[in-house]
Amino acid sequence: MPESWNLLHDLGTGLRDRANILAVACIDVPTWRSWTTWVTSVGFRGGAELLFNGVKKHHVTLPSQSEPWDMKQLLVWIQRNLLKERPELFVQGDSVRPGILVLINDADWELMGELDYQLQDQDNVVFISTLHGG
Amino acid sequence: MSCEVLACLQWLCSHPVPVSFRLCFKDFFIHKFKAVLGKNRIIFPGEKVLLAVSGGPSSCSMLRQVQEGLSQKANKKLRFVPGVAFIDEGAAIGQSVEERQRTVAELQAVFQATGFPFYILPLEQVLDLPASVVATNPSPSEQPASAYKAAVHHFVETDGSNFPRPQEPKKTLLPRVQESHTLMLQQLLGSVKTLTAREELLNTLRQHLLVHTARTEGYSKLMLGDSCTRLAVKLLTSISLGRGAQLAQDTGFSDSRYGDIILVRPMRDYSAKEVAYYNHLFTVPYVVIPSVDTKTVDKASIQRLTESFVTKLQTDFPSTVSTIYRLTSEKLQTACRKRSGADGCDRCLLCLCSLDTAVGE
């Protein structure tokens, strides 16, 4: 029926316009986020905590910056601010020492992009050493 | 089969961990444990099995698998009677009495929660062991393959009523250790010049104590928690240490060098990464206890160097560990069985394996 076709067409156009508005709003979100601080929880298990004074869980507030934090920057930050001794037992070059499993929100970081993964607010990162204990 | 499972895991991993993935992974993990025991048919129903738990992730994961397998609601329940043994090696790393007591108390809480009988053994007890611990006792006569099926059938028919019931855990007080014993042990370990030899000596002492405990408490099997990664490292280390002829016993699923006590390694199909992941997802409690090679540099001992080599290679070539494990240890198993029939062969006093000192054959 011609009338219902027109109605559907108008509805579709309206929805498309609304979607465009939403899309614009989404693009703006990252710039809004640069004003917020990044809160993540960082955990160390399996023996890795021995390098961090035995403290297993740290709630950290990362300083805000224009670009989102990625794992590479987080590792540098951890090395500077949390690591107490023997950096060579935790980091190797840009990445973690082989044998340390990294989980981001309970998923293996290899599936999230490893060092390139961009942190989101309230992310939970855990470093588990698989080298110790059997 | 394993490739499909891995692909499934990878696909599921690419999404935030949903409940379905956790259950899938849990089923896969538990199934592997039961499958390795069922395939080898070495633990008979109602048999007493001592679990050697070091407090580390792998052995605590093994403890959890046994708990899961024995629980009422388990599909195809495990049928043996477990006990737990923990060796307190605080003396070897110079821990104070208070530190040792704190660690033991933590682990005691974990063991009590399982409901299994447990034994806390200070390593100093190894100094008081009788000479019989370094003797191979006659093994029970070799059971034909049909005996396993018959035993399972009988167990199911009688609903397990004729078999020993799991014991109530005794209220074990932490055993007191004389300071002179601690000093003697430390002197013994201190007299060893290299870290490599010290680690080997500790392994030997640990095994003697576990076997002795199993014998005196009436256990016929001893379960060790070595993961696939650990065994791959152990395999290469053993070759470097001149133990090539004993590889099958050191790294195989079952080790019958002691005769009456069979050592079993049910965790040998799990990589260290899988174990760590499972422990994290399902909050398996474990206690990190430093050992003699904690925080040492790569070249401190052959064991540390091999571990570092294998782990680094594994990062770039993820099939390293499984290649070492599959191609070598399983083939060696077959070869060793043919030779073990020789009676009266000379055995090493410390490791009780047959001597392999014939030159130029």
Q: Among all residues of chain A, which has the CA nearest to that of B268?
A: A134
Q: Closest CB to A86: pick one of B59, B276, B295.
A: B295
DSSP designation for B322: H
Domain membership of residue B343 (yes or no) is no
Collect all residues of chain B within an 8 Å Cβ-Cβ radius of residue A126: 280
Residue B309 burial (10 A CB sphere; 0-12, 13-18, 19+): middle
Domain membership of residue B306 (yes or no) is yes
ipTM higher than threshold 0.85: no
The tokens of B105 are what? 């108390």
Query: Residue B68 phi/psi, 5° resolution?
Result: -60, -40
Task: Look at A130 and B273 and tell me if their CB atoms are within 8 Å.
Answer: yes
Domain membership of residue B175 (yes or no) is yes
B213 vs B205: CA distance, rounded Å: 12
Task: Look at A132 and B294 and tell me if their CB atoms are within 8 Å.
Answer: yes
Domain membership of residue B262 (yes or no) is yes
A92 vs B175: CA distance, rounded Å: 43
Task: Look at A101 and B277 and tell me if their CB atoms are within 8 Å.
Answer: yes
Q: Among all residues of chain B, which has the CA nearest to that of A56?
A: B288
- For residue B291, give Cα distances in angstroms to A7, A131, B55, B199: 76, 12, 12, 9
Domain membership of residue B352 (yes or no) is no
Domain membership of residue B169 (yes or no) is yes
Domain membership of residue B213 (yes or no) is yes
Q: Which residues span the domain enclosing B232? A: 3-338
Collect all residues of chain B within an 8 Å Cβ-Cβ radius of residue A49: 288
Task: Residue window 204-243, chain B: list those with CB within 8 Å of chain A.
Answer: 225-227, 229-230
List the CATH number of the domain containing B141: 3.40.50.620
B70 vs B75: CA distance, rounded Å: 9
Domain membership of residue B159 (yes or no) is yes
> Nearest 10 degrees: CA dihedral of A106, A112, A118, A123?
-10
Task: Residue window 14-33, chain B: list those with CB within 8 Å of chain A.
Answer: 14, 16-17
- The pTM for the full model equals 0.83
At residue B38, the 3 state secondary structure works out as helix
Number of domains in chain B: 1
β-pairing, B81-88 with B118-122?
parallel
Q: Please list, in sequence order, all residues whose beta carbon lies within 8 angstroms of the beta carbon of residue B278, skipping any fewer than 6 positions away.
A: B25, B26, B29, B61, B284
**Please, are residues B232 and B325 in contact by the beta-carbon 8 Å criterion?**
yes
Task: Look at B289 and A46 and tell me if their CB atoms are within 8 Å.
Answer: no
Q: Please list, in sequence order, all residues whose beta carbon lies within 8 angstroms of the beta carbon of residue B47, skipping any fewer than 6 positions away.
A: B80, B81, B220, B221
**pLDDT tens per residue, chain B (361 residues)?**
455 555 555 555 544 556 777 889 998 999 899 888 988 888 888 899 999 999 999 999 999 999 988 886 666 788 899 999 999 999 998 888 899 999 999 999 999 999 999 999 999 998 888 877 777 777 766 666 677 777 777 777 776 565 555 555 554 556 778 888 899 999 999 999 999 999 999 999 999 999 999 999 999 999 999 999 999 999 999 999 988 888 888 888 888 888 889 999 999 999 999 999 999 999 999 998 988 888 888 888 999 999 999 999 998 898 998 888 876 666 666 444 444 444 556 788 888 888 777 766 5
B293 vs B201: CA distance, rounded Å: 13
